[in-house]
Amino acid sequence: MLITCPYCGPRDVSEFAYQGDGNRTRPDPASTDGDAWHAYVYERLNPAGPHNEIWQHAGGCRAHLAVIRDTVTHEVSSVRFARDHGAPAHVRRKSGAKA
């Protein structure tokens, strides 16, 4: 599987680290809305088809990328810098944390 990094060009998937589902929106840290936190932490769409994902080009330019990957075919239809639309807060979590 190749991911075409907007900076580095097409690279092998082994250079990239998966940073989790790109559909999540982190609630305000002060929020006490249990449903919103539950949705953020646990609920996933799990589609068979195009899926919004956050990847990091950890073995390259180290940029965070917003990727649309087809979960059935692994076809990558879109790659852009996550920061262009504002990197989701969850990509700043500590490495090793669960996705």
Partner 1 sequence: MVEQLSPLGQAFRPGSHGNFANGVGVTLSEIAPGSIVQAAAWPGSEKKMMAAIASVTGLKLADGAGAGAISERHAAFGFAPGKFLVTDVFEGLAAALAGQVGPAIGTATDLSHGRTAIRIEGPKAEWVLGKLFAVDFEQTAFPIGSGISTVHHDIFAQIQRSGADRFDLYVFRSFARSFWKMLCHAADEVGYEVI
**Quick one: which of 7, 45, 49, 72 contacts partner 1 (CB under 8 A)?**
7
Query: Residue 15 or residue 70: which is nearer to partner 1 going by CB?
Result: 15
Residue number, 7 or 37, with CB nearest to partner 1: 7
- Cβ proximity to partner 1, 63 vs 68, nearer residue: 63
Q: Using CB under 8 A, which residues numbered 11 to 30 contact partner 1? A: 11-12, 14-15
Task: Please report whether residue 9 would count as binding partner 1 according to CB under 8 A.
Answer: yes
Which CB atom, from 32 or from 95, has the smaller least distance to partner 1? 95
Q: Which two tokens stand for residue 30?
A: 């002060």
What's the number of CA atoms in the CB half-sphere (13 Å) around residue 52? 11
Three-state SS across 22-65? CCCCCCCCCCCCHHHHHHHHHCCCCCCCEEEEEEECCCCCCCEE
DSSP 27: P
Residues 36-65 that bind partner 1 (CB under 8 A): 59-63
C-beta of residue 88 within 8 angstroms of C-beta of residue 97? no
- The answer to whether residues 84 and 7 touch, using CB atoms and an 8 Å cutoff, is no
Site residues (CB under 8 A) for partner 1?
Answer: 6-9, 11-12, 14-15, 59-63, 81, 83
